[in-house]
Amino acid sequence: MTASTAALLEDALRQAAGADAEPASMIIDYAAAGPVSAHRAWIERATRSLVFAQAEARTEDGNLVAAASAVFRRVTHG
């Protein structure tokens, strides 16, 4: 697995969580080797202060390369 897969998943999770969220925890599980051709991230649930997000990266033929989960803390600026 490569650092670029981890960076891709982290970026996807950050975008899904939103600009007002800072990472508190992230776990990546690697499933198989292969070039990543698609990735997606989504919010599993959110509270007033926390966002729980999931992401996955897949090869062109749909095989899972890696899956990630993260918890973000919502922050207020000002």
* CATH classification of the domain holding 31: 3.10.129.10
Average pLDDT over residues 63-78: 91
pLDDT at 78 over 90: no
- Assess contact for 56 and 40: CB atoms under 8 A: yes
Question: What are 6-36's pLDDT values in tens digits?
Answer: 999 999 999 999 999 999 999 999 998 889 9
Strands (E), the chain: 21-30, 38-46, 50-58, 64-74
What is the domain range of residue 65? 3-74
* Domains contained in the chain, number: 1
